[in-house]
């Protein structure tokens, strides 16, 4: 049967390291406060010049090189981001230009923290139906240019880092599903009822006369807004639901999974999920301590980090789940 498999991973973060202590100098916060509530110790931010597509480029080039394919063999680009280079065109087009592979379809996915799971699912379907053989899937974010660096924006600002992660998906004729590397299934959900619990109101046509004008800027509508308690409450409910859905769809138990690579929004959320499913600590791979929440990039960054740390090897069964703005959530089960 024709399936897709992850051929390789790649990641990139900027060189500017920002600690919790650094943030305490510009807003009312502390290292202890941030660690206790989120598990975050540091993050990396661009130093002015880099755009989302620049980070995506470096992660993509690594993934393509490690996949053992030529750039010319990439037949589609799917890029997930909530921090595009520009309002339009899509950032995938800017990435395509920088990669030097014109002519192939290039698609942006705007599903925020669940963006990589959505993108992986889309790529998997294109490969399963025989449309393409090699697809580049990227999650990339530059949050730092859109964060409110003040006490007012503190609760959001401390959470986010910049970075990019990429995988190359390739077609494979699977003869033995229990041994051969491939994506078993993906599961996607959304509930727009809660769209305004975590969002950035401007710019947008949902505003008054202009997408962004003096009124919107004066009211600070161009800064991200979050109802933290509501987001947390839904995350600890929806991520386990998506994970269980994936396990049941494939007739698997928690003990069958070799490694869990969850979205990195808050270490407390991942710890609660691990406790709920009685997942051993060594089976959960977290990166939030080092990189904070890089939204669409957290899972591919986690995969690349796990490979380089020797925690993720070919043939291992992996489960991922994510929850984010929209609200959106989902899961993926795959043999690496």
Does the active-site annotation cover 263?
Answer: yes
Residues forming a β-bridge with 9: 167
In the block, tokens 């393509």 appear at: 64
Active-site option among 93, 113, 143, 187: 113
Burial class (CB in 10 A: 0-12, 13-18, 19+), 206: exposed
CB 203 within 8 A of CB 212: yes
Active-site option among 187, 263, 266, 286: 263
Contacts of 206 (CB under 8 A, 6+ apart): none
Question: How far is residue 20's CA from residue 30's CA, in Å, rounded to a whole number?
Answer: 6
Residue 176 phi/psi, 5-degree rounding, is -125, 95
Active-site option among 20, 134, 266, 293: 293
For residues 29-38, b (16+ Cβ closer than 10 Å) or e, as one string? bebeebeebb
Query: ∠314-315-320 over CA atoms, to 5°?
Result: 90
Question: How far is residue 191's CA from residue 330's CA, in Å, rounded to a whole number?
Answer: 12
Report, as residue numbers or ranges, the catalytic residues. Answer: 113, 263, 293
């Amino acid at each position: 049967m024709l399936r897709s498999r992850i051929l390789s991973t790649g990641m990139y973060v900027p060189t500017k390291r920002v600690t919790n202590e650094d943030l305490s100098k510009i807003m009312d916060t502390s290292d202890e406060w941030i660690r206790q509530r989120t598990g975050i110790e540091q993050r990396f931010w661009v130093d002015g010049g880099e755009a989302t597509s620049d980070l995506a480029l470096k992660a993509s080039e690594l993934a393509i090189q490690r996949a053992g394919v030529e750039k010319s063999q990439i037949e589609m680009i799917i890029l997930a981001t909530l921090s595009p280079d520009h309002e339009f065109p899509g950032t995938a087009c800017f990435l395509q230009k920088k990669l030097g592979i014109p002519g192939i379809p290039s698609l942006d996915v705007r599903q925020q923290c669940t963006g990589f799971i959505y993108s992986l699912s889309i790529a998997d379907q294109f490969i399963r139906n025989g449309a393409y053989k090699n697809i580049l899937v990227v999650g990339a974010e530059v949050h730092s240019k859109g964060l409110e660096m003040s006490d007012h924006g503190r609760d959001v600002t401390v959470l986010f880092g910049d970075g990019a992660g990429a995988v190359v998906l390739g077609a494979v004729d699977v003869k033995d599903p229990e041994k051969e590397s491939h994506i078993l299934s993906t599961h996607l959900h959304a509930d727009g009822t809660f769209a305004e619990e975590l969002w950035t109101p401007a710019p947008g046509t949902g505003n008054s006369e202009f997408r962004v004008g003096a009124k919107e800027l004066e009211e600070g509508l161009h800064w991200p807004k979050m109802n933290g308690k509501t987001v947390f409450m839904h995350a600890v409910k929806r991520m386990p639901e998506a994970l269980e859905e994936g396990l049941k769809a494939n007739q698997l138990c928690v003990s069958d999974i070799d490694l869990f690579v969850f979205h990195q929004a808050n270490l407390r959320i991942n710890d609660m999920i691990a406790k709920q499913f009685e997942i051993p600590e060594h089976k959960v791979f977290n990166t939030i301590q080092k990189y904070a929440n890089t939204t669409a990039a957290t899972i591919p960054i986690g995969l690349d980090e796990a490979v380089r740390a020797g925690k993720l090897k070919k043939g291992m069964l992996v489960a991922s789940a994510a929850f984010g703005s929209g609200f959106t959530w989902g899961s993926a089960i795959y043999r690496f």
